Structure formats: structure tokens, C-alpha cells
């Protein structure tokens, strides 16, 4: 039995199979996701408040960082609360509308804004290290605002495109999703109607957004490395490297985990192991981002200390 897209699909429910089938492990999974969600929200919220409250951090680098922190909060909030509710109520069901909403925000925040903001931050570090004398002129408030605005517009348009194409598909009424949230590829693979056009759009978008932005980041890093190597003093090299080490760590964590999951899913047919591995980039990475930036950045640590002292 399958349901065509339309009014009937609003009553359709899917089943999220989650990470483990053993019911005895559910309280452990609940505590794991709840603790990581709270740490993610608190850590990223502190970064945002520190950047807003401290005038020393009113720079392009921290402006982009605060936007990335906001995106990480929204991204995790689109998936983890539903997981917690399902575990607490011992239900695996998610409505059609809820599933489409999760996919929309997943595409918007993960495939769109995270990629774009990391690329913008790489460009910011490139200008800071390769053109330090012109940094304040190039990375002015107008350009920074424009870069973030363009990132949002591109991400929203991409998410709308994927969502609108998804609602044109029909789905079986007893669809089981071997994941802990509604993931775009999983849903398309289990559609009862032809999804060739959806897959083509995903590949094209992945090539343009994913491949193009990765190429831009790698180009920026190559220019940064050459500029650092040209510095004569060891102290100067260390100071220049430390200014982009945090971003390098976040980019490496983000792309290595996400690419690792998708490459492994292409090799193995075990959906359960893929779902477990995807916890790394959907939950762990947003949680670690504030720690990486705060631990490696003296300005952030000082701003957080001043903010906490005010409270």
C-alpha cells in the first residue's frame, strides 16, 4: 500500500528505528542524547552571548563564529528533541509533516549553512594571514553581513528545493526508517514512486555546494600554508598558525566525520551501523565546536570569563 502526495499524506506516519533495538539500552541512549544536547546548546549559547556582550569580539571572525554556533543549536534542536520524546514515550512514530520538517532543517542547516559558513570563515582566515594590512578594510561590516546573508539565502533556497521535490513523492504507509531521524537519502530510497530526479538534484547540489566549497576551503588553506612558510621567525609562524588552528580543527572534524559516514554507507549495506556513525557529525561535532574554539582562543576565554563575572 502506498499513499500519493496530497492531503492523505498528512495522516501518514513513519517509524524511526533508532540506534539500538534492545529496550534495556533505551535509558542509556536517552541520557546520552540529553546530556550531549544540553552541552551543545549551553556551549554554543555561551559563545553567542560572549561575542554579543564583549566589544573586543566585534570582529568578522567572531561574527561568523556566533552564526555557526546559532546554526549548531538549530540543527541539533531539529532532531534530538524528537529522539528524546520517542524514547520517553516508547514510540518510534513520526508524522509525515514532522519528517518533512526535520529533513528541511537538516538540509538547511547541515548541507547549507554549515558548509557555507565554514567556507566564509576559511576566506576570513585567508585574508587575515595573507593580507593582514588590508584585513580591516577587506573584511568590513558590510561584506561580513553580505556573506552571511548570501549563505542564508542560498541555504534556504536549497532546502526549499529539496523539500518541495520530496513532497511530490509517494510513500508506503508502513515505512520504516533505519535511522534516529528523518534523513533525506534514507527517505528517498524508501519512496514508493520514482525518485530519479530527486537523486539527480541531490548529486548536483552535493557537487556544487559540497565539492565547490571544499575546493574553496582547500585553496584558502594552501595560500595560508604558503604565507606561513614565508614568515622568517618561528614565533611569527606559530602566531599565524594559531589564528586558524581552531577553524582547521572544526573543518577537519566536520568533513572527516560526514564524509566518512557517507563513504561507509556506500560500501556497507548495514543501515544500523551507518545511523550509529552519523551521530558523530549530527551530535558530537556541534557539541565539540564551542570547546575547540574556546580552548584554542584566548579572546574567547577572556570574554567568557568576563561574561560569567558579570552574571
CB 250, CB 293: distance < 8 Å: yes
The yes-or-no verdict on residue 54 having pLDDT over 90 is no
- Across the range 225-244, mean pLDDT stands at 80
The yes-or-no verdict on residue 258 having pLDDT over 80 is no
Give residue-wise pLDDT tens across range 22-51.
778 888 989 999 999 999 999 999 899 888
| Burial tier of 211 (Cβ tally within 10 Å: 0-12, 13-18, 19+) | exposed
Q: Phi then psi for 194, rounded to 5 degrees? A: -65, 125
Place of cell 564551542: 290
What pLDDT, on the 0 to 100 scale, is given for residue 302? 81
The yes-or-no verdict on residue 295 having pLDDT over 80 is no
Percentage, residues of the chain above pLDDT 70: 90
Q: Enter the C-alpha cell of residue 172.
A: 508506503
Distance CA 131, CA 129 (A): 6
Q: Enter the C-alpha cell of residue 84.
A: 528524546
Q: Enter the C-alpha cell of residue 90.
A: 516508547
What pLDDT, on the 0 to 100 scale, is given for residue 7? 46
Burial 233-265 (b: 16+ CB within 10 A, else e): eeeeeeebeebbebbbbbbebbbebbeebbeeb
Give residue-wise pLDDT tens across range 57-86.
888 888 998 999 999 898 888 889 988 998
Domains, in order of start, for the chain:
2-310 (1.20.1070.10)
Give residue-wise pLDDT tens across range 189-225.
888 888 889 888 888 888 888 788 888 988 998 998 8
Measured CA to CA in angstroms, residue 93 lies from 87, 176, 209 at distances of 10, 9, 32
Amino acid at each position: 500500500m502506498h499513499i500519493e502526495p496530497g492531503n492523505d499524506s498528512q495522516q501518514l506516519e513513519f517509524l524511526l528505528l533508532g540506534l539500538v533495538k534492545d529496550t534495556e539500552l533505551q535509558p542509556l541512549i536517552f541520557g546520552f542524547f540529553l546530556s550531549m544536547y544540553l552541552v551543545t546548546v549551553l556551549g554554543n549559547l555561551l559563545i553567542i552571548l560572549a561575542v554579543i556582550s564583549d566589544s573586543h569580539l566585534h570582529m568578522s571572525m567572531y561574527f561568523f563564529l556566533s552564526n555557526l554556533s546559532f546554526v549548531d543549536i538549530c540543527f541539533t534542536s531539529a532532531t534530538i528533541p524528537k529522539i528524546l520524546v520517542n524514547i520517553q514515550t516508547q514510540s518510534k512514530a513520526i508524522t509525515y509533516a514532522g519528517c518533512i520538517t526535520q529533513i528541511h532543517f537538516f538540509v538547511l542547516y547541515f548541507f547549507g549553512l554549515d558548509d557555507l559558513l565554514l567556507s566564509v570563515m576559511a576566506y576570513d582566515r585567508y585574508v587575515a594571514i595573507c593580507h593582514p594590512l588590508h584585513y580591516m578594510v577587506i573584511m568590513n561590516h558590510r561584506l561580513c553581513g553580505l556573506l552571511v546573508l548570501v549563505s542564508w539565502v542560498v541555504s534556504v533556497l536549497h532546502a526549499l528545493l529539496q523539500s518541495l521535490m520530496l513532497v511530490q513523492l509517494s510513500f508506503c504507509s508502513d515505512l520504516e526508517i533505519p535511522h534516529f531521524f528523518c534523513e533525506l537519502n534514507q527517505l528517498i530510497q524508501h519512496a514508493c514512486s520514482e525518485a530519479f530526479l530527486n537523486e539527480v538534484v541531490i548529486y548536483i547540489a552535493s557537487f556544487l555546494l559540497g565539492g565547490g566549497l571544499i575546493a574553496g576551503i582547500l585553496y584558502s588553506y594552501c595560500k595560508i600554508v604558503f604565507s606561513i612558510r614565508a614568515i622568517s621567525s618561528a614565533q611569527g609562524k606559530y602566531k599565524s598558525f594559531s589564528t586558524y588552528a581552531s577553524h582547521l580543527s572544526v573543518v577537519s572534524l566536520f568533513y572527516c566525520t560526514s564524509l566518512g559516514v557517507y563513504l561507509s554507507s556506500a560500501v556497507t549495506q548495514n543501515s544500523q551501523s551507518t545511523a550509529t556513525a552519523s551521530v558523530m557529525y549530527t551530535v558530537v561535532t556541534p557539541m565539540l565546536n564551542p570547546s575547540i574554539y574556546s580552548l584554542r582562543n584566548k579572546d574567547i576565554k577572556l570574554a567568557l570569563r568576563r561574561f560569567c563575572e558579570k552574571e
